[in-house]
Amino acid sequence: MKITIIGTGYVGLVTGACLAELGNDVFCLDLDAKKIDLLNSGGIPIHEPGLEEVVARNRAAGRLTFSTDVEAAAHHGVLQFIAVGTPPDEDGSADLQYVLAAARGIGRHMKEYKVIVDKSTVPVGTAEKVRAAIQAELDLRATYATFSVASNPEFLKEGAAVEDFMRPDRIVIGVDATPEGERARDLLRSLYAPFNRNRERTYWMDVRSAEFTKYAANAMLATRISFMNELANLADKVGVDIEAVRRGVGSDPRIGYSFLYAGCGYGGSCFPKDVQALERTARHHDQELLILRAVEAVNDRQKHILGNKIVKRFGNDLAGRHFAIWGLAFKPNTDDMREASARVLLADLLSRGATVAVYDPVAMAEAQRVLQLDLTSAQLANIRYAENPSDALVDADALVIVTEWKAFRSPDFELIKKRLKQPVIFDGRNLYEPDTMFDAGIEYHGIGRSLQVPA
Ligand code: UDX
């Protein structure tokens, strides 16, 4: 099938590459000529396991093309996926300017039936705005063409996006109950048929419900995390091990184990933005989403948990203190630093006069870029970018773990003790067992794992 993908960001590129892998003829459009040049020369703008190979293989096979040509893009695919960014605007609502610009680009050039598929995470009612933008362009050209706008939200996790796309838990598709919508349903059904061979994974619904489903899913997951973080902070005070509680609670099939890990807060491009956007949608309709407001507040506070524990241990004035930081990206297997907890921790430590040595397996360059925006030049001068995890440890007062990269899971604790000034670990992702740390003679501060029975 001929497919156009508008936007070669994270979602667009993964979707385009994976649909080409299934044998489709995919044309990816982006207005950023530099990005298109990079992709055409075999480069990849993001770090995502397996993506480079899929892109290379399908480019070589002639099934995956990258271009800045809006007209060619509009003619290419009967399915036109919009996968551009929806960044938060000043009040936290999703900014639809790129989505609507993409829609106008299609409307300016289309001549025959098209299905426009919203892949970007967009608020309820966006499909209607997309439809109106396309219709306005057709009217301007006095052209008659039928089309349908469908919603097909993306549930990819960064760091596992290719795998998630190729083995989806579910595919959510919203189509209109009109003849054009029925045609859209037939096309999308055959596009996704390869995923439904063993069992049907597609959930068909109306367009608005599909748009809402994406926000509901992300808000639910963010809620679980903030809830566990709040319980973990209490666990620290009452001598409870949150990991034991997680297992006990997760064993209830009504609850399940996933997304119950306490830590130093959630980050990334989706949860913070989508929770805010859903709150804004509610506010536009005179409703306050009290739970989500708390989810956000708890997460903002949780990003300071490591800084607060360090201050409690070493005092408020950290001048002369030096810390080793392992992990900068908002989660493993990505170089994405958006809303990463490490940014809050670094600001907390550096603003109190500490110096740090940081290490991340892939996010070092991206961290340097974003930290320029966050910190003063005096603070930036107090960061050393270490060569490897063990180099970061030299002469530090403590090791602080922010991202749960696999490489940090089984370190050489004797080496850690030798390199640190004193054997202290603050673990924002609960990678180690407090008992093991105790036996190894390491002072260990996890999240919700202190096990100190209060006096
Ligand atoms: C998320 C959704 O999972 C995905 O379905 C959606 O399409 C986009 O948003 P992503 O942001 O890539 O994906 O990462 P995810 O693995 O969900 O983690 C988000 C954040 O939550 C990370 O900072 C992670 O460290 C944190 N997290 C996750 C926890 O703190 N505890 C958990 O139990 C799980």
pLDDT tens string 348-400: 999 999 999 999 999 999 999 999 999 999 999 999 999 999 999 999 999 99
Distance 424 CA to ligand 1 centre (A): 28
Q: How far lies 374's CA from each of 328, 342, 347, 351, 367, in Å?
A: 14, 11, 8, 11, 10
Both tokens of residue 346? 């670094």
Indicate if ipTM > 0.85.
Answer: yes
Name, in order, each residue with C-beta under 8 angstroms of 386's C-beta and a sequence gap of 6 or more: 324, 357, 358, 359, 392
Distance 268 CA to ligand 1 centre (A): 7
Residue nearest to atom 24 of ligand 1 (CA): 266
How do residues 207-216 score in pLDDT, each as one tens digit?
999 999 999 9
Read off the pLDDT of each residue in 404-414 and give the average, rounded to a whole number. Answer: 97
Domains and CATH numbers, the chain: 2-205 (3.40.50.720), 221-445 (3.40.50.720)
Q: Is 221 among the annotated ligand-binding positions?
A: no
Give CA–CA dist 236/245, Å, rounded.
Answer: 12
Give CA–CA dist 58/56, Å, rounded.
Answer: 6
Give CA–CA dist 453/201, Å, rounded.
Answer: 48
Residue nearest to atom 34 of ligand 1 (CA): 259
Checking if the pLDDT of 118 tops 90, the result is yes
**What is the Cα Rg of the chain in Å?**
24
Q: How far lies 58's CA from each of 19, 62, 166, in Å?
A: 10, 6, 15
Tell me what percent of the residues of the chain surpass a pLDDT of 70.
99
Q: How many CA atoms lie within 13 A of 416 on its CB side?
A: 25
**Listed residue (218, 200, 152, 207) closest to 12, CA to CA:** 152
Q: What is the pLDDT at residue 413?
A: 97
Read off the pLDDT of each residue in 274-296 and give the average, rounded to a whole number. Answer: 96
The pTM assigned to this predicted structure is 0.93
pLDDT band at residue 455 using 50, 70 and 90 as cut-offs: very low
pLDDT band at residue 454 using 50, 70 and 90 as cut-offs: very low
Residue pointed to by tokens 């052209």: 143
Read off the pLDDT of each residue in 36-59 and give the average, rounded to a whole number. Answer: 95
Checking if the pLDDT of 67 tops 80, the result is yes
pLDDT band at residue 91 using 50, 70 and 90 as cut-offs: confident
Distance 67 CA to ligand 1 centre (A): 31
pLDDT band at residue 313 using 50, 70 and 90 as cut-offs: very high
Q: Is 260 among the annotated ligand-binding positions?
A: yes
Tell me what percent of the residues of the chain surpass a pLDDT of 90.
96
Give the binding-site residues of ligand 1, using a 6 Å CB cut-off.
154-158, 218, 221, 225, 259-261, 263, 266-268, 270-271, 330-331
Q: What is the pLDDT at residue 451?
A: 61
